[in-house]
């Protein structure tokens, strides 16, 4: 049988776990559309944290304990920068710096960011395609209660998600053009999966690129989203506090409402079955599973369940 074409929309850590699970199956041809809105310049270098988390994870080079960054990493370059008086709150490792230097050099030369991401993934031995939703610069901006606009990394790393968020904007989004690769992957997909990534700052800036949501709506493939909330909590990160401070439900129901018109199914945790009635009434049809991915086996099992949900006729599942 030809492998199923699966197109995954993914942010960083939660997205990469789902990508690894899908990539573990031989009957899947995986394409991942990542998030570029966390990108930012540090020390003159263009850093693309979510794309690199996908690449490092799928290459088996990720620091498994933290879920991001490279394993067996050192920080000597950062020590030098600190000695020279640079701001070093953004932790960038020595191995990681090599990639940022390469990316920056190629961008300066005028290469397409998509081509750079593809070549980097290939060099690292990654089999799935890692695509960018746009080659244009789109950046998340977060307005705090005290009226400051922060970049994602300023909010997330420098201020450790402490400020309360009033508003989220994506600079450059209006003018951004989708990449032909991302549009083609969506159109050709047999299954579209929305990873359990932060809906507001990982998935929203993919969906917001003009043309991407339209392509998703036009696609005939089933669309299955996975909740990043388990038992009313996020596994990690600020999605719960962000959603709450924007007046949204910070739980699987909030996710269901968000993906109501986009996804056919929402995979949620058994721990959230108290929300079943509300989710069934307001969101995509729920499917209950264990959605915490700790081990490689957890990731592969959840991915298999999603594939079964999409491709096994209902009678066979009963």
The site for Ca ion (CB under 5 A) is made up of: 11-12, 38, 50
Return the structure tokens found at 117: 């991401």
Angle among Cα 158, 20, 268 to the nearest 5 degrees reads 80
Q: What's the CA gap between 227 and 229, in Å, rounded?
A: 5
Tokens of 18: 């789902």
Minimum CB–partner distance for residue 38 and Ca ion (Å): 4
Q: Which residue has the tokens 């299955």?
A: 224
With CB under 6 A as the contact rule, the residue among 70, 97, 197, 209 that binds ligand GDP is 197
Alpha-carbon torsion 221, 280, 259, 266, what sign?
A: negative
Among ligand GDP, Ca ion, none, partner that 139 touches (CB below 5 to 8 angstroms by kind): none
- Using Cβ positions, the residue closest to ligand GDP within the complex turns out to be 14
Q: Are strands 40-42 and 45-47 parallel, antiparallel or unpaired?
A: antiparallel
Q: Choose which of 48, 55, 140, 202 interacts with ligand GDP (CB under 6 A).
A: 202
Choose between 187 and 245: whose C-beta lies nearer to ligand GDP: 245
Taking the C-alpha atoms of residue 302 and residue 289, their distance in angstroms, rounded to an integer, is 8
Closer by beta carbon to ligand GDP, 191 or else 195: 195
CB of 20 to ligand GDP, least distance (A): 11
Per CB under 6 A, 205 contacts ligand GDP: no
State the minimum distance, in angstroms, from the CB of residue 2 to ligand GDP: 29
- Please tell me the distance from the alpha carbon of residue 56 to that of residue 125, in angstroms, as a whole number: 10
Span 36-95, contacts to ligand GDP by CB under 6 A: 50, 53
Which residues in 224-253 contact ligand GDP (CB under 6 A)? 226-228, 230, 234-237, 239
Contact 300, 21 (CB under 8 A): yes
Q: What residues contact residue 206 under an 8 Å CB cut-off, 6+ apart?
A: 9, 33, 34, 35, 133, 212
> Measured from the CB of residue 263, what is the shortest distance to ligand GDP in angstroms?
14
Of 282, 289, 288, 224, give the one whose Cα is nearest residue 253. 282
Q: Three-state SS for 54?
A: helix
Q: Residue 224 — φ and ψ, nearest 5°?
A: -120, 125
Which partner in Ca ion, ligand GDP, none is near 178 (CB below 5 to 8 A by kind)? none
Contact letters for ligand GDP, residues 277-316 (x by CB under 6 A): --------------xxx-----------------------
- Least distance from Ca ion to the Cβ atom of residue 14, Å: 9
Binding to ligand GDP by residue 133, rule CB under 6 A?
no
**Does the footprint of ligand GDP cover residue 34 (CB under 6 A)?**
no
Alpha carbon distance 30, 19 (integer Å):
8
What is the spatial distance between Cα 156 and Cα 240, in angstroms, rounded to a whole number?
13
x/- mask, ligand GDP, residues 208-227, rule CB under 6 A, reads ------------------xx
Q: Which of 8, 9, 14, 286 binds ligand GDP (CB under 6 A)?
A: 14
Count of helix runs (H) and strand runs (E) in the chain:
14, 14
Query: CA 74 to CA 264: how far, in whole Å?
Result: 44
Q: Which is nearer to Ca ion, 20 or 38 (CB)?
A: 38
In the complex, least distance from residue 255 CB atom to ligand GDP, rounded to whole angstroms: 9
Residues that bind ligand GDP (CB under 6 A): 10-15, 17, 50, 53, 195-198, 202, 226-228, 230, 234-237, 239, 291-293
């Amino acid at each position: 049988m030809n492998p199923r074409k699966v197109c995954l929309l993914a942010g960083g850590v939660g997205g990469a776990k789902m990508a690894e699970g899908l990539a573990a199956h031989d009957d899947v041809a995986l394409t991942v559309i990542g998030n570029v809105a966390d990108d930012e310049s540090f020390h003159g270098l263009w850093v693309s944290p979510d794309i690199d988390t996908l690449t490092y994870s799928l290459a088996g080079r990720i620091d498994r304990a933290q879920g991001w960054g490279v394993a067996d990493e050192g920080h000597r370059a950062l020590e030098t920068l600190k000695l020279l008086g640079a701001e070093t709150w953004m932790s960038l490792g020595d191995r990681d710096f090599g990639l940022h230097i390469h990316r920056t050099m190629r961008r300066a030369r005028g290469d397409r960011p998509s081509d750079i991401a593809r070549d980097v993934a290939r060099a690292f031995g990654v089999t799935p395609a890692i695509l960018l939703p746009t080659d244009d610069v789109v950046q998340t901006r977060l307005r705090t209660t005290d009226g400051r606009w922060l970049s994602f990394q300023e909010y997330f790393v420098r201020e450790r998600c402490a400020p309360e968020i009033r508003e989220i904007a994506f600079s450059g989004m209006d003018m951004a053009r989708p990449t032909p690769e991302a549009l083609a992957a969506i159109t050709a997909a047999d299954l579209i999966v929305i990873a359990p990534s932060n809906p507001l700052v990982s998935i929203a800036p993919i969906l917001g690129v003009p043309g991407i949501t339209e392509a998703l709506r036009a696609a005939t493939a089933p669309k299955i989203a996975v909740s990043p909330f388990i038992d009313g909590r996020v596994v990690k990160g600020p999605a719960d506090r962000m959603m709450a401070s924007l007046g949204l439900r910070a739980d699987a129901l909030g996710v269901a409402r968000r993906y109501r018109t986009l996804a056919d199914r929402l995979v949620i945790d058994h721990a959230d079955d108290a929300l079943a009635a509300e989710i069934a009434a307001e969101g995509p049809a729920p499917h209950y599973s264990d959605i915490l991915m700790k081990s490689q086996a957890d990731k592969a099992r959840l991915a298999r369940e999603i594939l079964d949900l999409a491709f096994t006729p209902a009678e066979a599942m009963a």
